[in-house]
Structure formats: structure tokens, C-alpha cells
A and B are shown apart, each in its own frame.
Chain A
């Protein structure tokens, strides 16, 4: 008995010490994956370009805030996280960080003091960055930017998620191996793969999260990778598989939507607008083509979904029958002017609704938000028009929005589930709360 108590006591002591060590012993930082000379310097513009590829601006800049000074609220299911100031300000930014400190934030998700970063910072993906890109980024943030003094707000997460030390265990499960290994011998495809898996951190939104809220896959060979996710109420559509939103798109279509936010089929919405605004529109042609080739290859063999050219929906709309149900009537009165009776819109200006991933997403919240509050495309160098769809929330009741959304979800060749007025009411409340 005494022995047992001793053993129990010892076990508790070891567990306790282990736990203490778990909380307090610093994390082993990942080493550089390639050796670069100490005097390696990025070429002119390389640092800024690496920053664009990694899209640091979208999260680390508050709406109307100074560039990279942080404090953008990032809504997560666990609470609100505020992005940090990554200007080289000593007191409030990352001034004084060593290259190893900087790399550890990107690879291991830890600050110099050992604090764990919330995975809103996509270090799951940044772990694949090359040493060149890390050095280029470091140079950009430390030497090319002016410091901005801006203290960032405390993130507002509920217990136990506000206990950052718990992330250490999470990382054991969530993080893959550091460094990037291509799944292909083709250098163009490999470049595309790197951009997607690494700096572009596309998987952060387009890959589903598992029960631990980690990305279900981090690499291309795994079919879960880029198989669709959700971000702030918007569906980040699947980019592969039978439900791929980009099935049948040409490389030109892919490059166009990344460079300009629009192509012959679709226009970007939700958080992707920030990605185009701050990142992909700045990609050089070579990278755009690589990304496009990678995405075409990811959907290799799948042609555009079969779509009937003549649909009952179009016939109904064109009939202008005054007795048609409320949904199509609302469509004629509000949507038809741009998206037309065939639901095909017009190239690069008015997106297709027939087969649209936004319209037919499993979760209708993106579509409802779009109808309620509208959307504005970012102005880009090639397509400067900030084309804007107005919101219809002040014109349509919850019931009407639900009827309309249900109609377009099942119109033409679409076959998605209907929407209830309660779903609309909830989103309308959220939208109003945000506005106030």
C-alpha cells in the first residue's frame, strides 16, 4: 500500500514536473532548412514580393489602419484575435527580433519570449517557406519598413483557449515537417505547389479543419488538401474533387481571377477579396502561370460540370408569367438586369449564378450575405473597375431573401438546399451588429 502511494506520489510529481516543463521549458526552434551565406541579401524588391506572396498585409493591417501596424480583428469560433504589429517598432512591433526569432514565428509559431502564437497566424503553412523567402521577408520587415508605434489589443478568447501554453500540444498534432518538398518533377507545377502550400497559405481557408481545428491536410497528395473550408461565414470553395468550384476552368481563367478578382465565370467574394487586393494581383506572370498550371493540374481530367443549355428556369423567367412564384419574380425584379435569365451573367463583369460555388455552397451564408449587403471587387492594375453589387437588404424582407436565395440555389442546373427566413434573420442581425 505504501509502495503504491509512493508510486502514485512519484507519478504525480513527474506529471506535475512534466506539466510545469511543458508550460515553461522553451520550445525547440526549427533550424533553417537551407544554409544561406551570412551575407546573403535579397535582390531589390524581393522582400516586398515575398511579403505579397505571403499576404502579410491582409491580416496585419486594420481597416483604415497603418500598413502592418496590426490590430485587425480576426473572428474565430473561439473568440476574437487581434493581429500583431509587424513593423520594426521596438516597443510595440517586431523591432529587435533576430532572424532566428523571426523564423521561429513563421515555422514554430512562437514569439522570442516563447509565447505561442494562435494559429490564425498560418505557421502550419509558413513552415514550408524556403530560407530565401524567410530572409527576404526578414529584410523587408526589418530594413525596408518604417516602424509604427501601435500597441495591439489583447485577443479576446474564452477559457481554456486563452491559455496559450495549450497550443504546444496542439502543435504536436497540427504541424507537419518543416521545409518544402515538391510532389512533382515539373518545375512549373512545383513552383505552383510551393506557392499554394507555403507562402500563399491557401489551405488555411480552402482545406477543412479537423476536430482539433488544425488543417486536415497540408500537402497536395492528400485529397483533403484544398477540398473546401470556411472563413468568417464565407465558404472557401473546394478547389479539387467532384465539387471543385474551378472544374473546367482554363489556366487563363485561373490566372485572371487571381490577378483581377474576376474571370469569365466568377467574381471573388468574402475574404478572398483581401487576398486578391493585397497578394495575388501583385504576382508576376511566371508565378501566376505556375499557380494556374498547378490548379488546372489539381483538377486534371475533370471537365466543366455538364450543364443543360436550355433550362426550365430560363423558360419560366422569360415567360414573364405574372403568376410565377415569388422566388423567380424577385429574381426578375432584382437580379435579372445583370445576371440574366440564363443565369450566365457576362464575362468578367457579372458573375455566373448557374453553377456558382457561392450560390450552391452547402452553407448558404455567403449567398445570403451577398444578397443582404452586396460586394465590391478590389481595383487591380489590369482591371481597375471596383465593380460593386449593391446590397438588397433594405429592400427585401427575411422571407423574400430566403425565397430568392432558395430559388437561385435550385435554378438552372443548381441543386442546393433551400434557405429559411431564420437563417436570413440571423445573418441580417450579424450584419447590422457589425455596422453599428
Chain B
């Protein structure tokens, strides 16, 4: 069975953050828009209603809001000579599905990259010389600058009601904010969240060591807020169920709280759920897309949906998968370094030290996803790469995000992980630990990439996407450097004991334990059609009516959580489409 539906002006693939942003921005142009979402529909009530959603087993452990590997997964290998195997259980990263996407289950950390991260290769070459870049490192410039993107960060932050403290407004350094950040045009829309004990202790210790602590920018509202679309957030109550959960309280910025009810009011916008896009259909000359083909789960048939403009707004990995399946961009070849689609897949290099205090009650159950204190004294723009022997940087941070009983209890070294002694350890140590983490860059390498798996297929008969990824010495040196900075801070706080967890020499990527859902690259933006899949407006070089949103555009990973940059790029692309593309559809570069 198959059907062809009437043509639309725009089809949007995926209704998470970027699909919602592009949806409402283009709906304002009066275009006839259809968004296709592979998962279920979701609303705060009933889907995130209290107390049903406060269920760690269902959502924290069994991934109630995440994609199901039986429907969608990847294969993984670490090196070119390994045979990739399918990921049969989610672990290292957790793509969402359903309306709102991963935008419903994030913690809410909303950062702007450093200025030099957008032009990393140029910055390194100009500052330290090209010779310090390892031979297999394929870092590139983004093709946009912090200054160009500033208004679009501003829009995203004001749309999402971010709570924070500016450190640099138009060049003026402000006490209490991040003094190393790129200049911003104005302060955050909401004041910082209140801080918990662990963050306050870290702040004091960091200050005593001469560092510059500041509150983490948070998409957990510190007060009632109304955004440009009239959408509303209520103050966060520190319930401790952010990451992996939808917010019970209209407090966490998400497509649901910030965009969707406003978007649904546009009569020229419609969306369909349980509709998984299988491929982008290209014209015979392959120079434009003619629409998409999707699987209508309800009707159990393939649907051809013609459209003048195709916006890929699925999770970064799925956007790349669709591009590979549809022939958008030459697939990347690691042997020759040629081809662009799938190139420069990167991840995030994090580490942390856990501190145990017998006599401190941290009350970890009172937590917001992004409250906390950070320092950027070892950020990517503060380090002498030539002297330290690596390229990259991290922000260092403390802030408890939950006190959930199954995953949220740290135990000191020496406490067994089972049996009576474990039970006793849980009793002794619940609420008596805190952690200081480093959240760092992960650079791009010739043999870290995405392509189609030669063996495994999904339920629609499409090849799975194959991820080839491993940790590299440069990034391991970076995280070890952070360890050398964090451990002295930890020691200065006089814990009863502490333990560290940082990738060491020879560390290999393990897809099982959760690390972070910050998968970037594969559909990278840039200035050269032979080296990037998208131009600086996120437009496919080869098919001018295809725009690709998301962190897939990052040529290597920034040292920050990606959502801020993903949101800014979405507004940046939306503006280019509205002002420049629609009046005259063509390659914008």
C-alpha cells in the first residue's frame, strides 16, 4: 500500500526543538506546513503529569521517553578494522522520540560556545601554528562567528526563559558572571536559580583558589516567565526530575512549554505523529528535493509527501542517516578524506571527581537540572595548547541534578556494590556526596564518522547507520589536564574521601554506560562544499531546498552542552530562509 498526499509548501521532519522553531517561524510567513514526527504526541498533562512521571524505573531506567532500539538504532565500531555491531539497548546516549523530542527530557543547560570554537582551526593555526594539529585531526571552522550568531542566541535564550547571570555584556565584564564568555547584547531573561549546598561549597573553594565561579545558565525557570510567543513557564520547584523526564511543572523549557501551543494555533500548520520519514525524495537531476516519503504507522502504508522545502529537524544522528539514505551530499570516505556526509562525528569528553562528606547533608532530592556553579578558567580560550600538548577545553562545574534512589547514590571506594555492606553503605552515604565535573570538547578525527552499515537493516529494510568512534589521545590529555585542576579544588574542600573518574591512556569508547546525549557532526556546516555537508545557513550544498538543523552541523564538539548552539543555529537558519531564501529560492552561498 502506498499513497501520495497533496503537496505542501514545507515539510518538517521531526517535531522537537528545531522542528518547532522552524515550524513557528515559517508559519508566521503563512506557508502551508506539515511536520512529521515518528513518535507519539506528548503534552505536559497527561504525559508528564504528577506523580506518574516521577517514576525512575519507568523513565530513568527503562527509558520511557526515549527511542526504542527495536525501532531505531545504530551499529557501532571503534576502529575501521572492527566489525560494527548493533546497539540493542540504549546506554551512552539517549535520543528521544515523540513530540518535543529530546527537548522534553534534557536537564536544561543552555550555553553559548566560546568565540574561538566557531573558528577552531583558524584560531589554532593563527595562535599556535598548524603544526600542533595532529595529522588525523580534521577540525574545521563553522563558517559563522559568535558575533553573527549573537542575536540568535539571544532569541533562543529569551524564548526558552533561561535563568543565568551575564558575565560580558557588550564587552563590559560583570561581577558574578562568566568573565571569559563571548560578549552578549543583554542579560539573561531570568535571574539565576537558587543554589544548593554542593554548588555553594564549590563556589567558595573555587573563589579561594582565585577562579571565577558563576551560576550555570539554566532552562529551569527561576520565576514565572512569558516568552515572545506568549508561552509561559512557571517557577521550578527543584523536584529533582529533569533529565530523562518531562517536567511536571511547566518549569523546564521545552517545545511543549515554549512553542507548541502557540504553533498549533496557526491554521497553516499541521503535524502528524507516528509518521517516520524513510527518505528525502530528490528530483531526477538530484539538484532539489521533491518532498519526503514516510511510513504512516496508523494506516500501515508508505506516504509520498511532496513539498517545496524540506527541513530535516530530527535528532542529529537521524538527520545524517536520512541524508545518507537519500543521497544528500557525497558520503564521507575515511580512506581518502573525501566526501562530506557523515564526516566529523564527535562526542563529548567529560570527567568528574566525587567527594564524600560524612557530616554534610546535601539533600540531593531538592535539585534542578541545571542549577549549579561553574568556572571557565580552563575553557578552550584560556589554555595554551602548544604548552599543554592538547587542543580543547572544559568548563568545570558542581551542581546536583537529582537524588534519585536507583542511579543517584554515589558510594565511596571500598563499599561493595551488592549485599549487606552495600545496603549499609547506601544508608551511610545517601545525601552525603557531591561531585565536581568537567565538561569538555571532543575534536574531529579522520576515522570518527558515520556511514551506512553494510550488514544490518532496520524494520523498514533500510541499512542502519554505522558509527565509527573512539577516544583519541588529544582529548584524553585534555581531560587529564582537567583532572589535575579539579582534584586540588576537591582536596581544598576537605572531604572525608574522594574518587575520580576520567578517561585515561588507552581508554576505548564504551557504548553501554550513559555519558551524554551530545552527538554532533556528520552533517557539518562550513564554507567549502568539498569539506562540509551544509553551507553556513544549514542549507545542503547540493539541494538548495533542503535545510538540516541540529548539532550535526557542528564540525567538532564544543566544550559545552549543545542545545544553546542548536537553538541559535535554528533561528539563524530560519532567518536566512525567511529573509533571503523564500523570496528567491536558490543556493544561498
A contact set with B: CB distance below 8 Å: 334, 336-338, 340, 346-350, 374, 376, 379, 381-390, 395
The answer to whether residues A385 and B257 also contact, given A346-B235, A347-B224, A349-B233 and a CB cut-off of 8 A, is yes
- A349's partner among B43, B250, B265 (CB-CB below 8 A) is B250
Is there contact, CB below 8 Å, between A346 and B224? yes
Question: Cβ of B44 < 8 Å from any Cβ of A?
Answer: yes
Is there contact, CB below 8 Å, between B249 and A383? no
Residues of A within 8 A of B224 (CB): 346-350
Residues of B within 8 A of A337 (CB): 50, 237, 239, 248-249
Is there contact, CB below 8 Å, between B250 and A390? no
Question: Cβ of B422 < 8 Å from any Cβ of A?
Answer: no
Please give me the residue from chain A that is nearest to B265 by CB atom. A384
Is there contact, CB below 8 Å, between B250 and A385? yes
Is there contact, CB below 8 Å, between A348 and B237? no
Residues of A within 8 A of B44 (CB): 388
Per-residue interface assignment for chain B, residues 257 to 275, with 1 indicating a CB less than 8 Å from any chain A CB and 0 otherwise: 1000110110000000000
State the interface size on chain B (CB cutoff 8 A).
27
Question: Cβ of B424 < 8 Å from any Cβ of A?
Answer: no
Given A338-B234, A338-B237, 17 more A-B residue pairs with CB atoms under 8 Å apart are: A337-B50, A337-B248, A337-B249, A349-B224, A349-B233, A379-B264, A383-B232, A384-B229, A385-B230, A385-B231, A385-B250, A385-B257, A385-B261, A387-B250, A388-B43, A389-B45, A390-B50
Is there contact, CB below 8 Å, between B262 and A384? yes
Residues of A within 8 A of B264 (CB): 379, 384
Is there contact, CB below 8 Å, between A390 and B49? yes
Is there contact, CB below 8 Å, between A338 and B249? yes
Measured CA separation A383–B226 after assembly (Å):
8
- A385's partner among B51, B232, B248, B249 (CB-CB below 8 A) is B232
Residues of B within 8 A of A350 (CB): 224, 234
Per-residue interface assignment for chain B, residues 37 to 57, with 1 indicating a CB less than 8 Å from any chain A CB and 0 otherwise: 000000111100111000000
Measured CA separation A338–B221 after assembly (Å):
13
Measured CA separation A376–B232 after assembly (Å):
14
- Closest CB of chain B to A265's CB: distance in Å? 12
Residues of B within 8 A of A379 (CB): 261, 264-265
Measured CA separation A336–B235 after assembly (Å):
12
Residues of B within 8 A of A389 (CB): 45
Question: Cβ of B223 < 8 Å from any Cβ of A?
Answer: yes
Measured CA separation A376–B250 after assembly (Å):
13
Please give me the residue from chain A that is nearest to B229 by CB atom. A384
Is there contact, CB below 8 Å, between B234 and A381? no
Measured CA separation A334–B248 after assembly (Å):
11
Please give me the residue from chain A that is nearest to B262 by CB atom. A384
Is there contact, CB below 8 Å, between A384 and B231? yes
- Closest CB of chain B to A356's CB: distance in Å? 17
Please give me the residue from chain B that is nearest to A380 by CB atom. B230
**5 pairs from A and B in contact (CB 8 Å cutoff):** A349-B250, A379-B264, A384-B261, A384-B265, A388-B43
Measured CA separation A305–B231 after assembly (Å):
31
- Closest CB of chain A to B582's CB: distance in Å? 24
Residues of B within 8 A of A388 (CB): 43-45
Residues of A within 8 A of B230 (CB): 381-385
- Closest CB of chain B to A393's CB: distance in Å? 12
The answer to whether residues A390 and B257 also contact, given A337-B249, A338-B237, A349-B233 and a CB cut-off of 8 A, is no
- Closest CB of chain A to B247's CB: distance in Å? 10
Is there contact, CB below 8 Å, between B237 and A387? no
Please give me the residue from chain B that is nearest to A346 by CB atom. B224
Residues of B within 8 A of A390 (CB): 45-46, 49-50
Residues of A within 8 A of B223 (CB): 346
Measured CA separation A249–B97 after assembly (Å):
44
Measured CA separation A385–B229 after assembly (Å):
10
Residues of B within 8 A of A395 (CB): 51
Measured CA separation A376–B45 after assembly (Å):
9
Residues of A within 8 A of B45 (CB): 374, 376, 388-390
Is there contact, CB below 8 Å, between B50 and A381? no
Residues of A within 8 A of B250 (CB): 349, 385, 387
- Closest CB of chain B to A261's CB: distance in Å? 12
8 smallest CB-CB distances across A and B, nearest first, come from A349-B234, A346-B224, A384-B262, A388-B45, A390-B49, A384-B261, A337-B237, A347-B224
Please give me the residue from chain A that is nearest to B44 by CB atom. A388
Measured CA separation A277–B49 after assembly (Å):
24
Please give me the residue from chain B that is nearest to A349 by CB atom. B234
Please give me the residue from chain B that is nearest to A335 by CB atom. B50
Residues of A within 8 A of B261 (CB): 379, 384-386
Measured CA separation A381–B230 after assembly (Å):
8
Residues of B within 8 A of A346 (CB): 223-224, 234-235
Which of B51, B224, B232, B237 has the most chain A CB atoms closer than 10 A to its own CB?
Answer: B232
- Closest CB of chain B to A354's CB: distance in Å? 16
- Closest CB of chain A to B255's CB: distance in Å? 12
Please give me the residue from chain B that is nearest to A334 by CB atom. B50
Residues of A within 8 A of B257 (CB): 385
Measured CA separation A349–B232 after assembly (Å):
7
Residues of A within 8 A of B49 (CB): 390
CB neighbors of A among B544-583 (8 A): none
- Closest CB of chain A to B53's CB: distance in Å? 10
Residues of B within 8 A of A381 (CB): 230, 265
- Closest CB of chain B to A130's CB: distance in Å? 32
Please give me the residue from chain B that is nearest to A260 by CB atom. B230
- Closest CB of chain B to A427's CB: distance in Å? 20
Measured CA separation A337–B226 after assembly (Å):
19
Please give me the residue from chain A that is nearest to B232 by CB atom. A385
Measured CA separation A367–B264 after assembly (Å):
30
Which of B44, B229, B234, B257 has the most chain A CB atoms closer than 10 A to its own CB?
Answer: B234
Please give me the residue from chain A that is nearest to B231 by CB atom. A385
Measured CA separation A382–B49 after assembly (Å):
25
- Closest CB of chain B to A392's CB: distance in Å? 9
- Closest CB of chain B to A86's CB: distance in Å? 24
Which of B229, B230, B231, B264 has the most chain A CB atoms closer than 10 A to its own CB?
Answer: B230
Measured CA separation A340–B46 after assembly (Å):
21
Measured CA separation A395–B229 after assembly (Å):
34
- Closest CB of chain A to B278's CB: distance in Å? 32
Measured CA separation A388–B43 after assembly (Å):
10
- Closest CB of chain A to B104's CB: distance in Å? 15
Please give me the residue from chain A that is nearest to B46 by CB atom. A390
- Closest CB of chain B to A384's CB: distance in Å? 4
Measured CA separation A349–B224 after assembly (Å):
7
Is there contact, CB below 8 Å, between B262 and A348? no
- Closest CB of chain A to B224's CB: distance in Å? 4
Which of A374, A376, A383, A389 has the most chain B CB atoms closer than 10 A to its own CB?
Answer: A383
- Closest CB of chain A to B44's CB: distance in Å? 7
Measured CA separation A381–B267 after assembly (Å):
13
- Closest CB of chain A to B420's CB: distance in Å? 28
Measured CA separation A117–B237 after assembly (Å):
52
- Closest CB of chain B to A334's CB: distance in Å? 8
Residues of A within 8 A of B248 (CB): 337
Measured CA separation A212–B53 after assembly (Å):
50
Measured CA separation A383–B250 after assembly (Å):
14
- Closest CB of chain A to B194's CB: distance in Å? 14
Per-residue interface assignment for chain B, residues 43 to 82, with 1 indicating a CB less than 8 Å from any chain A CB and 0 otherwise: 1111001110000000000000000000000000000000
Measured CA separation A334–B50 after assembly (Å):
8
Please give me the residue from chain A that is nearest to B49 by CB atom. A390
CB neighbors of A among B301-319 (8 A): none
Which of A336, A384, A386, A388 has the most chain B CB atoms closer than 10 A to its own CB?
Answer: A384
- Closest CB of chain B to A435's CB: distance in Å? 14
Please give me the residue from chain A that is nearest to B226 by CB atom. A348
Please give me the residue from chain A that is nearest to B238 by CB atom. A337
Residues of A within 8 A of B265 (CB): 379, 381, 384
Measured CA separation A379–B248 after assembly (Å):
19
Is there contact, CB below 8 Å, between B232 and A348? yes
Measured CA separation A3–B513 after assembly (Å):
110
Residues of B within 8 A of A340 (CB): 237
Measured CA separation A388–B232 after assembly (Å):
12
- Closest CB of chain B to A274's CB: distance in Å? 18
Per-residue interface assignment for chain B, residues 140 to 176, with 1 indicating a CB less than 8 Å from any chain A CB and 0 otherwise: 0000000000000000000000000000000000000
